[in-house]
Amino acid sequence: MTADLRKGRMGLQACLLGLFALILSGKCSYSPEPDQRRTLPPGWVSLGRADPEEELSLTFALRQQNLERLSELLLLPGAEFHHYVGGPTETHVVRSPRPYQLPQALAPHVDFVGGLHRFPPTSSLRQRPEPQVTGTVGLHLGVTPSVIRKRYNLTSQDVGSGTSNNSQACAQFLEQYFHDSDLAQFMRLFGGNFAHQASVTRVVGQQGRGRAGIEASLDVQYLMSAGANISTWVYSSPGRHEGQEPFLQWLMLLSNESALPHVHTVSYGDEEDSLSSAYIQRVNTELMKAAARGLTLLFASGDSGAGCWSVSGRHQFRPTFPASSPYVTTVGGTSFQEPFLITNEIVDYISGGGFSNVFPRPSYQEEAVAKFLSSSPHLPPSSYFNASGRAYPDVAALSDGYWVVSNRVPIPWVSGTSASTPVFGGLLSLINEHRILSGRPPLGFLNPRLYQQHGAGLFDVTHGCHASCLDEEVEGQGFCSGPGWDPVTGWGTPNFPALLKTLLNP
């Protein structure tokens, strides 16, 4: 690092410390987040003030202009933090009881300051649940790479060339890690009939030690078997943003690199209402920037159907983010119509989907969504969802009954859109392989093309509904699939030869 670079970095660090001190000193007069509260949310108890020397992790989300104004700040003493405990798992956090404020001159250049006030939602205090592991059903032997390849009409020749010209990636959060030994064993067991790579090309971030997680194992193993013989990266982001996934930290890693994999799959998400509006909007801006760079971003639609929560005693559906972002391609889930046969697919009842309460419906999906709303015979009550919001998912793939190797143990019947997302991403990487070899650019942001071509190249899933709440007493169905696009399986699941033909040309 040159002396000038070191000086610049030290100056920025000093400016951020000055900003931090000003915020807590109470000498400023502007707060960009009107929803900040000085009172504790229900279920939290103060354990007393934190030691002034205790290390804290805060998120300063600066708007990316006029950063030189930070140099006007001075380092001031006087920060106050307290320990709190709450939630069903007695989670401990450190937060400030004082409102934060910014100078009038600085306020237009700061989106938000995270880690000061907001408490993790009680529904997200736990470690993210592993993908669902179900019991044996009938004679079904479970979904493996060969089952995926047969259902979606891939041949042994449908693999990557193994060069560095094409690459793909998955992102891991919430202390989920994979093991190289698990990947190698998985490929020995299930990768014998197609060319593949036996190891991850690059890990970006901190790869923790200890036990492997089923989530991370699932993502890596099926991204690398669906997108077979394609260079694969894993982004591993430590820590949490206010108790939840550090999506912004991951996106900053992408923003700061010039050469990136073309396809990124993410099997994580949070309820929209559990995140601050400023944080959602900033993450969404970064997703838009990534899409503008030509990256294909796929997110799992979630495993709670339409979701359900109570507002003033009335139930409403609960959309998830980043699945609800208009700048990502969201993947729902299906299962085989017959549990032991490779046959037609129906809705997997856990498949997440619905309508955003934050983002309006983008123009690229206006026609498809309007048609669904006007023709579906099984719409839930209109008060349950925001019909004008961004609708998701966009596509789907099998999400039920997967085999995974984790901690050297083959585990059957793992289910969730955490499985369908890397599968769909891997197939898009194979299509990128053809595009790159023929001199075309990678696919990039996929949604406008998907909707313009009305789901060409996909198997339309027309049977089944996903779960949610229909009244105050019992859980019931949310939305149901039908011909064309629907908010359960999107346009459907991949028919690889047809999808390749559809997406190969510019």
Q: Examine the residue annotation and report whether 215 is marked as an active-site residue of this protein.
A: yes
Tell whether 127 is covered by a domain: no
**Alpha-carbon distances, residue 357 vs 143, 304, 492 (angstroms):** 35, 17, 24
- What's the total number of domains in the chain? 2
Same domain, 112 and 156: no
Q: Examine the residue annotation and report whether 219 is marked as an active-site residue of this protein.
A: yes
Q: Which of 182, 215, 303, 394 is catalytic?
A: 215
Same domain, 237 and 106: no
Domain with 110 in it:
3-119
Q: How do the residues of the chain divide into helix, strand and coil, expressed in percent and rounded to 5?
A: 30, 25, 45
Share of the chain above pLDDT 90, in %: 50
Same domain, 90 and 158: no
Same domain, 438 and 340: yes
Task: Using the Cα atoms of residue 471, residue 477, residue 481 and residue 482 in order, give the sign of their dihedral.
Answer: negative
Same domain, 314 and 441: yes
Tell whether 74 is covered by a domain: yes
- Round to whole Å and give the CA distance between 72 and 78: 19
Q: Examine the residue annotation and report whether 217 is marked as an active-site residue of this protein.
A: no
Q: Indicate which CATH number applies to the domain containing 214.
A: 3.40.50.200
Same domain, 456 and 423: yes
Same domain, 278 and 325: yes
Q: Which of 33, 130, 219, 303 is catalytic?
A: 219
Mean pLDDT of 393-412: 94
Tell whether 95 is covered by a domain: yes
Question: How confident is the model at residue 53, as a pLDDT?
Answer: 73
Q: Look at residue 442 and tell me whether its pLDDT is greater than 80.
A: yes
Phi-psi region of 43 (alpha: psi -120 to 50; beta: other; left: phi over 0): left
Split at pLDDT 50, 70, 90, the class of 241 is low
Q: Look at residue 41 and tell me whether its pLDDT is greater than 90.
A: no
Q: Look at residue 486 and tell me whether its pLDDT is greater than 90.
A: yes
Same domain, 114 and 165: no
pLDDT digits (tens, 9 = 90+) for 183-228: 999 999 999 889 999 899 999 987 767 788 889 899 999 999 999 9
Tell whether 132 is covered by a domain: no
Domain boundary among 65, 85, 119: 119
Token pair 């349950």 in the structure block, residue: 384
Question: How confident is the model at residue 21, as a pLDDT?
Answer: 46
Tell whether 215 is covered by a domain: yes
Same domain, 341 and 483: yes
Question: How confident is the model at residue 208, as a pLDDT?
Answer: 67
**What's the token pair of residue 501?**
């033909």
- Nearest alpha carbon to residue 447 among 393, 484, 398, 499: 393
Tell whether 125 is covered by a domain: no
For 309-329, letters b (16+ CB in 10 Å) and e give eeeeeebbbbbbbbbbbbbbb
Q: Which of 231, 418, 420, 468 is catalytic?
A: 418
Same domain, 308 and 367: yes
Same domain, 195 and 336: yes
Question: How confident is the model at residue 50, as a pLDDT?
Answer: 83
Cβ neighbours of residue 473 under 8 Å, at least 6 residues apart? none
CA dihedral 127, 141, 492, 328 (to 10 degrees): 30
Tell whether 264 is covered by a domain: yes
Same domain, 81 and 23: yes
Question: How confident is the model at residue 157, as a pLDDT?
Answer: 93
Tell whether 363 is covered by a domain: yes
Q: Average pLDDT over the chain, rounded to whole?
A: 81
Q: By mean pLDDT, which of 62-76, 201-215, 421-435 is the weakest?
A: 62-76
